Structure 1
Amino acid sequence: MSRKTRSAKPYAIGAGVVAAAGLLAFASYTATKPGDRDASGAAAPAASAPASAAAGQEGVYPELERLARRDAKDGLATGRADAPVVLIEYADFKCGYCGKFARDTEPVLIEKYVKKGVLRIEWRNFPIFGEESEGAARAAWAAGRQGRFWEFHRAAYAEDAKEKGFGEERLTALAREAGVPDIARFTRDLDSAEAKRAVTRDQEEGYGLGATSTPSFLVNGRAIAGAQPLETFTAAIDAAAAKAGR
């Protein structure tokens, strides 16, 4: 799990959401406590959830579940808009652990759940590592405008891709690799006020939940912190699907 060292300003996204969340940083450990491992393989320390987080039943918060947008036209989502389970991912293209999730875990979830209509994955741009992170986020959004977000996502998270940086020329190269058909439009969209607003909306949603690290996830209102093992995600998705009667 990658963490930004600066303090993040918590943005208001609705009193009901914040009150029930207990902040994502705490609720996530409720969902993934003892037995979890950190990046080095050592056991992660247990964290105590505050009283507001304890109010959730089995770590599931209905207010967080309602953050799923379920917009059929969302270019940064995959899976049926009416799928019984929605996984929301807050991530940064410069985050190594986000890349690990994208390469190792997400393809399995798509094959096992998305293609069967059980799961929808909604991406939230959550750039926390500076200017290049912001640029990559806007580029991903711009690729999504032409239906190539997931191809851009795959190229940007390829092994060793982040070591090449996300400067202007590199973003254009990634767009070409992703098969974005109109590069001139991509460039205009990348630098547009609309792109900046879209990224800011996602950022403020994440900060409003108390997220300060990437990747962070919500699975039907259950918070998961970091690139956890595949089994953590399948257990959360299976539980959510069972609750939904699937």
Structure 2
Amino acid sequence: MSSRRAVAIGAGVVAAAALLGVVSYTATKPATRSDASTRVETVETGDSPAAEVSTEPGAGVYPELAKLARRDGADPLAVGRADAPVVMIEYADFKCGYCGKFARDTEPVLIEKYVKNGTLRIEWRNYPIFGEESEAAAHAGWAAGQQGRFWEFHSAAYAEGAKEKGFGADRLDALAREAGVKDLDRFRRDRTGDAAAAAVRKDQEEAYGLGAPSTPSFLINGRPIAGAQPEETFTQAVESAKAAAEAAPEADKGDR
């Protein structure tokens, strides 16, 4: 890890990230295949067991990692109340097939069940690891967000068969149209501009600092989960985080 990345996430988070890398991602990581072209391990979930999530609210949770939640009410790459008791940070790549599986199969359930009632906030982090088209798609998603259409772009880019069509310039324009982006000229300027590059680089460095070995990777109130795990893994983690958040005020009263 570069010194710049270490400074970016803070010494306390670096210490927690070391634990995450040695314990949590190893414990929750399903079977993998090695991709020699990218030297990145992508998560295979078809025959792998679910990550284990303890019913104890504090088990497997790293408070320093919970502090990575930005809770910016103006963040177009987030959905849900800024003050929601549970925040799920998602590190993902638009060219990642298992990110798409999560986006199609599990994320809509979490939004319907927890985001809409104010329990959960989802904060997206761009973590492009599959080369130039990954980077281009990440920049395009950010650019769509500048016109309030990130999640619509997210849905279009993760539709069944979408990644097989690639993420060249014309294809990104087509996805923007599908997402309802109104000003395509602005979209093109934004996705190729310095602000998009800086925003994506910030997210990447956060993920690098955590040692996240694959996409998708998640933090739920500081609890790491690796891979497009079954829906039950995420619902259990959200319920556990919610219980811990609800218990915290009572514990504070007791301390007083």
Q: Would the aligned equivalents of 1:32 and 1:232 in 2 still touch at CA under 8 Å?
A: no
Cα pair distance change 1:62/1:23, threshold 3 Å? same
Question: Structure 1 residues 222 and 185 mapped into 2: Cα distance closer, same or farther (>3 Å)?
Answer: same
2:221 and 2:49 map into 1 onto residues whose CA distance is 26
Q: Distance in 1 between matches of 2:29 and 2:227?
A: 12
Tell whether the 8 Å contact from 1:31 to 1:222 is kept in structure 2 after alignment: no
Q: Which residue matches 1:3?
A: none
Give the drift of 1:14.
1.1
The residue number in structure 1 matching 2:150 is 149
| Pairing 1:121-200 to 2, within 5 Å after superposition | 121-200=122-201
- Distance in 1, matches of 2:184 and 2:29, equals 45
Distance, in Å, in 2 between the alignment partners of 1:239 and 1:45 is: 14
The answer to whether structure 1 residue 20 and structure 2 residue 23 are counterparts is no
Q: Residues 25 and 68 from structure 1, CA distance in 2 versus in 1: closer, same or farther, beyond 3 angstroms? A: same
Over the matched positions of the two proteins, sequence identity in percent amounts to 72
- In structure 1, how many angstroms separate the alpha carbons of the residues matched to 2:49 and 2:214? 18
Where is the helix percentage greater, Structure 1 or Structure 2? 2
Measured in 2, the distance between the counterparts of 1:42 and 1:141 equals 32
Q: Return the offset for 1:30.
A: 6.9
C-alpha offsets along residues 180-223 of structure 1, whole Å, 9 cap, x if unaligned? 01111000000110000000000000000001210000000000
* Contiguous gaps of at least 5 residues in structure 1: 1-7, 47-56
Distance 1:245 1:213 in 2: 31
Q: Distance in 2 between matches of 1:241 and 1:179?
A: 34
1:38–1:44 CA contact under 8 A, matched in 2: no
Contact 2:27 2:51 in 1 (8 A): no
Output the CA distance in 2 between the equivalents of 1:89 and 1:45.
Answer: 16
Tell me, yes or no, if the aligned pair for 2:127 and 2:207 is still in contact at 8 Å.
yes
Change in Cα spacing, 1:66 to 1:175, as seen in structure 2 (3 Å) is same
Partner of 1:95: 96
TM-score in terms of structure 2 length: 0.83
Tell me what 2:33 maps to: none
Task: Answer whether contact 2:147 2:181 (CA < 8 A) is retained.
Answer: yes
Secondary structure, in 3 states, of the residue corresponding to 1:72? coil
Question: Aligned-pair distance for 1:134?
Answer: 0.2
Give the aligned length: 228
Segments of 4+ in structure 1 off by > 2 A? 8-11, 21-34, 37-40, 42-46
Give the C-alpha shift of residue 159 in structure 1.
0.1
Moved more, 236-245 or 17-26: 17-26
- Partner Cα separation in structure 2 for residue 194 and residue 124 of structure 1: 15
2:111 & 2:174 partners in 1: Cα distance?
26
Question: 1:9: Cα distance to partner?
Answer: 6.2
Paired with 1:185 and 1:144, the residues of 2 have a C-alpha distance of 12
What does 1:1-246 align with in structure 2 at a 5 Å threshold? 11-12=5-6, 13-22=9-18, 24-29=20-25, 32=28, 38-43=44-49, 57-245=58-246
Cα distance change, pair 38–174 in 1 and its aligned pair in 2 (3 A): closer
- Cα distance, 1:16 vs structure 2: 0.6
Secondary structure class of the residue paired with 1:63: helix
Give the aligned residue type for 2:47. G
8 Å CA contact 1:78–1:114 kept in 2: the answer is: yes
1:187 aligned partner, one-letter code: R
Q: TM (normalized to structure 1)? A: 0.87
- CA change 1:66–1:143 in 2 (3 A) is same
